[in-house]
Structures are given as structure tokens and as C-alpha cells.
Amino acid sequence: MGMQPGQQPPQGFQWDSAGQQQTSPAPQMLQGSPNILQGAPQSMMGNNAYGQNQIMMQPPSTYATAALVVAILALVGGFATSGLGCLLAPVSLLMANSSLKVTTMHPGHSDHGIARSAQIISAILCGILLAGLGFFVFIMIAFSGL
């Protein structure tokens, strides 16, 4: 599908331009709206010209809230069960990291802050879990020779 001389590429957002031919390359004024040009780039925030259909793109859902809940359960469970609740921290960290991948691909995603806080809490708890396991292994090795 090549461009002919004098023809401009279609501008703005169009769902299916396969069956449409642009007969005049110059922008046309829309009837009833004095300062809106047909074919001019439009805002993607839903404020489109009168009568045109536009679907607002919703960002994909994430597990950010679930990751934060699991991180808080790991934190509270860590204190309530003498550290066993921290075993949920790696699960929460994986969920938070996957949510952050999605939110960084979509700037302004509403779950970005939640995913970041779940990642921070989970990372701290994972560090505490690893330090506790390391200390436990050290104690077991130190007292195994007695």
C-alpha cells in the first residue's frame, strides 16, 4: 500500500482505515464545531470531536493490591509466628515485581505506588528472612561440634 505523490498519511486515531480512502488531503472543518479539524491529531483522553466514537484505553490490571496484602500478612505473621510469616515475603516480592513491570510499561498507572510499596516491604522482609536463615545455619554449624 504505497503513498501517491501529494497524498498525506492519515492523521489521528482510526480503528480501521482499510476500507476508507482519503479523497482530499486537506483537513476539513467539522460541521457545528468551529475549531476542530477532521484529520488533525486528537487527544486520547476522551475529549474527542462531537459525535465520534472513541474507547478510552484502560491500563491492564495488576496484582499490586494482592502483593501489598501478602506483604502486610508476612510482616504481621512474622511477628505473630516468631518469623514463620516471613516465608510469604518471597511470594509477595514476585507478585510486586510482576506488577511493577506492567505499571512501568503504562506511565501513570494507578497501581504503581501500591506495587512499589509492596516491593519495598517484601524486599526488607526477604532480607530479614535471609539474615535469619543465615544466622540459624551459623548457629547449627557452630554448635554441631559440641
Q: What is the 3-state secondary structure (H, E, C) of the chain?
A: CCCCCCCCCCCCCCCCCCCCCCCCCCCEECCCCCCCEECCCCCCCCCCCCCCCCCCCCCCCCCHHHHHHHHHHHHHHHHHCCCHHHHHHHHHHHHHHHHHHHHHHCCCCCCHHHHHHHHHHHHHHHHHHHHHHHHHHHHHHHCCCC
User: What is the structure's pLDDT at 7?
Assistant: 58
Instruction: Kindly tell me if the per-residue pLDDT of 55 is higher than 80.
Output: no
Instruction: Please return the burial class of 71, using the count of CB atoms within 10 Å of its CB with bins 0-12, 13-18 and 19+.
Output: buried
Average pLDDT over residues 96-120: 95
Is a pLDDT exceeding 80 seen at residue 89? Answer: yes
pLDDT in tens, 28-47: 545 554 554 444 444 445 55
Predicted pLDDT at 83: 78
**What pLDDT score does 19 carry?**
45
Query: Is a pLDDT exceeding 60 seen at residue 2?
Result: no
Whether pTM > 0.75 for this model: the answer is no
Mean pLDDT of 5-34: 51
- Kindly list the domain boundaries of the chain, sorted by start residue: 64-142
Angle at which helices 112-142 and 89-105 cross, to 10°: 150
Whether the pLDDT of residue 8 is over 80: the answer is: no
**pLDDT exceeds 50 at position 51:** yes
Q: How far apart are CA 43 and CA 122, in angstroms?
A: 39
- For residue 129, is pLDDT > 70? yes
What pLDDT was estimated at residue 41? 45
